[in-house]
Every structure is written in C-alpha cells, then in structure tokens.
Amino acid sequence: MSDYVLAIDIGTTNVKIALFDIKGNQILVHREKCVNTGHNGSEMIDPSVWWNSLINTITKIPEDKRHNIRALSISGQGPTIVPMNIKGNFNQKAITWLDNRHISEISRITEEKNDPQLAAVIAKLSWMGKRIEEPHYLLQPADYICYQLSGKIVNMTFDCEGYIPWNKDDLNRFDLSDKFIIPELAPTGDMVGKITKKISKELDLPKDVIVVSGAPDFAAALVGTGTVKAGYLCDRGGTSQGVTLCSSKRIKAAGVMTTPYFIKNHWKLSGIMKTSGKAIDWFCSNIADCDVEQMKTSLSLTNRPSNIIFLPYLSGERSPHWNPNARGVFFGLTLDADKKQMLLSILEGISFSIADIVSRMENSGCEISKIRTTGGQATNDILNQIKSDVLNKKIELPHVYESELLGTAIFAISALKNKDIIEMSSELVKISKVYYPDISKHERYLELLKIYRDIYINNIDSFSHIAKIQKRS
C-alpha cells in the first residue's frame, strides 16, 4: 500500500482536502461549502464551521487510505483574523478578508502613508481590540486548523516579508500590543509536531502523522503551479483573484504590491482583486438563477466580445485601485442583452481586471515569460480563452487545477523526503493544456479595455457618493 500526504485548504467558500501519493499524484479530493452570509459589509464566521467541515471531509477518505497518511499540511485564505484567547478558546468570530465595514478607518490609516493591505488589517484589529478584555493570539484559518490538529500555537508561513499580515512593530505603532499576541513563526515546510492522540482516535488517523507547516493559499498556489522562476506569473482565480509575478528585479508598479519572494534574491509583484469569482456566483445565484457549469457550452457559442462592460467591484476593490468605495457596474446594456451576454461580460470584466494589473507590471519594466492559471476558475475553458485573448498571451493550465492543494502537498512531501520545496515544485508540476490567443478578438478587446478603464476613472466621485448613501441605509 502506498504512503500518502493530506493537503488541507481552508478557502473562503469551501474547505477542501486532497490526498496525494509521494510522487505528487492526486488520489482524491473532497470539499464542503462553508459560506458565511454577510450583511452591510460584515463578513465574519465562527471558525468551528471550518473545523466541522474538515472533519466531514476527512471521514470520507476510505479507511485503507486514511491509515496510510504519513504527513499533512495546511493552507488557507487571508488576511483573515482568527482570535484565540490565552486559554485556547475561540469566543470571537473570525473577521474575513472580505469584511468591508471599516472604510473610513482604512482611508485614514492609508493617508498616513501605510500600505493599504496593512491598513485593512489594522482597522479590523482596532475594532476587535475594543471588544475583547484579555490578550488574544492572532491566528489565520490554517493556523487555527493546525492548533486543532496538533495543539501547537503558531503562525505558519514563509519566513519573509509579505507572507504574514501582522508584526510586532505594527502592533506597537498602533497601540495594539496589549490586546494581541503574535505566535511563534513556523517556517513553511518545517515540522510543527504530530497530531494529538485525541485527534488520531477521533479521525481514525495514524498516531504518528506529521503536521508540516503550511502557508497562505496564494503562496501554496505559487508552489503548486511551479511559479518558481523569474518571469513566471500565476493567475489564481477563486472567490477572489490573485495575480503574482516572480521577478529577479525589485520593481515598483502603481497599485501593485512588491515584497520579497520566498526564493532568495527574487521579488513578488502581486495584484489582488476582491470579488472576481464572487461576481460570477452573485450573478448566477442572485440575478439570473442560472448555473455557470450548465451554461459553458452555450457561452462558448455566444459571440465575443459581448460588447457589455462589467466592472467586478462588488465589495470595493484592492489592486490596482485600492478603493473600498468602488462599485460594480454593467455598462452598455440594450434591450438585446440577455443573461448569456451579461454572464459573458462578467468573464470579460474579470479578464480586463487582470489586464489592468499585468499592463502595470509590464509598463514598469517587468518581463513575463509564462502565465499559469489555477483555482476554481481554471475549470472554465471559455474564461481561460478570454483571458488569453484579452492579454494576447498563452495561458498554461497545470495538471492539478486547484494548485493550492498540490502546493500544500508539496510542503508535506518535501518534509518527508528532506528536499527543497522549490526543487520539488519544479519536479512535480506538469502542464496539461495551453490556451492560445486569437489576435482578431484581442484587438476588439483592446477597444473595450480602454472604455473599462475610463468608466472607473470617470466615476470615482460617484462611487464615493453612492457608498456614503449605502452606508446610511
């Protein structure tokens, strides 16, 4: 019987697990939805929802395979704040990265020349700090699961800037150090410990299963797509979107974050969009009562471009605008518009948003030699083709499309084999399909991309105005 590693990912919409053999072959995948329904910008969730979903998914693994798991690792969404008091209790709900209630405070902190992402985290911590009486540990979703499995209180991530949303200096600077405790860092790929006897018994797992330190889901996806060479760009699309370039040069691009890569002497240029995939779910569930999976064939037969422009800013936007007041827009609707055209325009709007970031990278001197797509959106052939046409670049699809799971498995496999994570990534990641751009469609998309950008620029004041009105209601 083969030895296996268990990859766990705590996403915004789903808790997912995957079993891999030591050669990196995916054996099975299970997932369970864990959506929290927000209201008036609030996006909070009881972390026990993740834990209960994880238990349900693990118990679906066949017994013979479960008994041959040697190691596990965990990745997760963020920045999401999971507070744990010093007694190990979780009495407060987690505040997810989607929470959008602190716009004025974020704006104030950003105006003091702070990074917008840091401002968002500090604003949420300040709000939470007023509601707790004793110090709390700062965990993220993956850290929470690690604690439940091993009893260890750690922050799991690569040991470099840009992979953890808080540090002691910032807590001191914003007078939060008496409210929050930053746990010990567990560098990605290091052994944290073993699962507890209690967990071994409850989940029917071997008692010597090793818990290997994981990382944020975006970092796991970089490893799982083989984005470990200069010039490689990872487009990771799920509920949100992350566009991350590995660069050998430290380049600053407007609206894009530049931080150290987890590879020595390399840099990570990142653009993050808030509600790209969420916009698809919103339209299909709340507006058109349709299923995007069932509409793939009809979408592929629909004329492109749709000539309707959609701005996917349904909860403000991060990159490249960093504007919490930005709002979603359908532009160019006529009496001929139907749900197929509108859904197609959402896919195009996501692609325009990616193009906005990629063009800023390239205009700042970045070189992009490969683009690899991953995440839930990667199963959508028409969306992958639209991205290729809009960008006028080849798009590569790795053999494991949920690459955060493969990346997380690589953390565990590397620990078992005592090998370098980068080496294992290059060895185990394979490309299953390539999408090639249609130049005639690209030229038509360029016209629409200009209008897409103009719509945002021309409505900045109106976005702020409507946001104020919505906040009052």
Report the run of H or E that residue 276 belongs to, with start and end. Answer: helix 276-282
Q: Is the dihedral of CA 103, 116, 157, 278 positive or negative?
A: positive
**Cα–Cα nearest to 218, from 175, 168, 167, 162:** 162
From CA 353, how far away is CA 346, in angstroms rounded? 11
SS3 for 210-265, per residue? EEEEEEEHHHHHHHHCCCCCCCEEEEEECCCEEEEEEECCCCCCCCCEEEECCCCC
Helices (H) and strands (E) in the chain, counts: 16, 22
**Cα–Cα nearest to 352, from 434, 455, 426, 269:** 455
| CB within 8 Å of 406: residues ≥ 6 apart | 7, 18, 20, 24, 26, 223, 224, 398, 400, 428, 429
* Residue 68, token pair as written in the block: 């041959």
Q: Is 378 exposed, middle or buried (0-12, 13-18, 19+ CB in 10 A)?
A: buried
> Which one-letter DSSP state was computed for residue 285?
I
Task: Let me know: does 375 contact 217? Beta carbons within 8 Å.
Answer: no
**Cα–Cα nearest to 352, from 292, 306, 309:** 309
**Cα–Cα nearest to 46, from 92, 77, 15, 80:** 92
**pLDDT reported for residue 471:** 84
245 HSE (CA, 13 A, CB side)? 27
**pLDDT reported for residue 300:** 84
**pLDDT reported for residue 40:** 63
Paired residues of 233 in beta bridges:
245, 371
153 by DSSP, 3-state: which? coil
**pLDDT reported for residue 2:** 84
26 HSE (CA, 13 A, CB side)? 21
- E strands, 146-205, are 154-157, 180-181, 184-187, 191-194
Q: Is 441 exposed, middle or buried (0-12, 13-18, 19+ CB in 10 A)?
A: middle
438 by DSSP, 3-state: which? coil
Which residue ranges form the domains of the chain, and what is each CATH number? 4-215 (3.30.420.40), 220-472 (3.30.420.40)
**pLDDT reported for residue 39:** 65
| CB within 8 Å of 222: residues ≥ 6 apart | 228, 234, 244, 246, 262, 407
**pLDDT reported for residue 98:** 82
The single-letter code of the amino acid at 130 is K
From CA 379, how far away is CA 454, in angstroms rounded? 31
**pLDDT reported for residue 155:** 97
From CA 136, how far away is CA 89, in angstroms rounded? 9
From CA 163, how far away is CA 152, in angstroms rounded? 20
From CA 97, how far away is CA 100, in angstroms rounded? 8
**Cα–Cα nearest to 302, from 259, 263, 336:** 336
The four Cα atoms 440, 442, 447, 450 give a dihedral, to 10 degrees, of -170
pLDDT < 70 positions in the chain: 1, 36-41
18 HSE (CA, 13 A, CB side)? 26
